[in-house]
Structure 1
């Protein structure tokens, strides 16, 4: 009796597996007649498909492949299939939205419009998926069924559907949403990093999107993200591109500023009186204050030059690191394996012997380059002018010492007959190099001194006024 029951059970399992395979084949093909026949043979076949551990129901497969009639037949016979989720938390509506199957979208939202609010494991609902993929036809259907789902934020990063459109370069979908949904209050929404859609568009150099935002919306051009960066800061710090000039002009025409210029540009906007007033001590004080404020709002040529130098150094941080690392490697290698000509003189350690000079110049170059690397990784703000001046001086020392090391190495390879001529040419070259380096050092030291004197004068004048 037991063996008979077991045998019947195995037969039943075999039949069930065969029918499941037949259902899967019918779903892949979109064969409605085969589906109806299977349901007639086994009315519980769809219920069993919902109970599978994989989570992918026939409706998921049909929606993914775009079998519209097959999908309608499924949801008509078993409506609860529409709310089943696969292993990624996606419903059939998510998959149809991703693939752009408008007919299937209509059938599913007609069954239950609230499915527009269902989220997958990434926190995206079907409207988010459609915006991310740029499916405008799907967006029309979903917004018509439940436009409120378009205002939902992504749970992980706090992004809006507009962020997704810009992030995935879907300008047409972005434009459609802005023009057909009241998204003016979402235009300036920020994600978890404080980035607006303008930040994202500028970072990705999307000229068309930037132009549309600045011309057609109420986007705040000087909104700062969590790092205190405006759209202009993002442009300055992003990778170089041929579109930078055009984007910069568009932002400037819209009044965009860098974060360091926002507060000075918005202060002291009270109008200055132009009609004649009696001269008095108070009037003189007011006029001097106004003139000092005007000078702050409109920097002099020297101040503009200093600011450009500061910005240049900040942009060249990586380049300085590479150059310093290269010089350090050269110095380390030359110290361990000096040129053969220098080794000939290694026992002659007179005050300015060839080997002694080689060691001094090479060690100076090596230590200077290591100092630059240490300063760059120390976390000291690069925009500090004192720090900038120190870095430039050390770099000049490192480069000059490398040049002098080269000169000593060449000197050891010169024959005695040709020594006078070649050494004279070498000496002239070194003198010219040192002269140029000295001029640069004097110029930048004077520049630093002028800046320090002006700052000291400002501090003194404030103390006198107090």
Structure 2
């Protein structure tokens, strides 16, 4: 069997199986063994390896006496083609651990191969969270600055638990910031200072990265960054306090069921529709072109505020009534828009609807401007709109946004 695997001879493989149908099961019974898949992975016989994986998938997870699985053996022998074919047949192999708890992602980070990192993260994004037996992430094992830069960029794009990964400590209590400081890697330190929040973490020897690094400029940057993080933590603490207070006072739960979310979405959509329609058909209607007292000249949008002349297409309401109408209408329309945005599921469709919803709000404001009786009501309505907008944004941020883990 070993000879057939070394030669990549599939016909010989099946002849051996004909002679002994239990030959593969007998190999599988041995806890630590060099399987035919190990031999094929070492020799680079892709077709033979795929044939073995079809016949005996468990071989792909089998440890050799040296603590290696076939896919790790292929990577160590610098055979990326074999690695790609193996993980194509079983994507979970990206998370397979060899001796020391190393996964393919750890090995690629050690070797500095960004192409391999790209493939592994694309096939299995969750592998970024895997730890070695020394509690090390792939970031702890980075060999080149470019590798760390790539991993951080990928993390910021693909995972919300960025700070959890960055705060991970190895068995010595070192974070990735300690590792960069130990290497005296000033470029890596500068990059990490920009994204990390736990800058003053101490290892088991009670050393911070600040105590390890020798570069004075980096030390100064660390001090400034720590001061910035402390300010952000105070803001975060205030937001969380207000958030919890609102939850208690309103009796709402921090996480709502899908049924509750659907009810809110339906009500918010109905309110947004009704209030928008009200701007298209305001109480009393509009002055008509041929109506009594109307001005047929369409070159001027509004008349002076003290003019008795009226203009076609403008609301018939008095200034005070129109301002009351626009104020109450905006107070109903804008919260419903914010509710719709906040409650929509976060996916690709959300990005498209997010843009459309804000365009609807702009269209709403344009409608208010068009039907406004004169300059004064126009300016006051615009002012009301842009005063309500940030107030509602802050309110929705505090009330609906989950806890900001990035600042903790």
TM-score band, normalised by the shorter chain? 0.3 to 0.5
TM-score of the pair, normalised by structure 1? 0.42
Structure with larger RCO (C-alpha < 8 A, sep 6+): 2
Q: What is the TM-score when the length of structure 2 is the normalising length?
A: 0.47
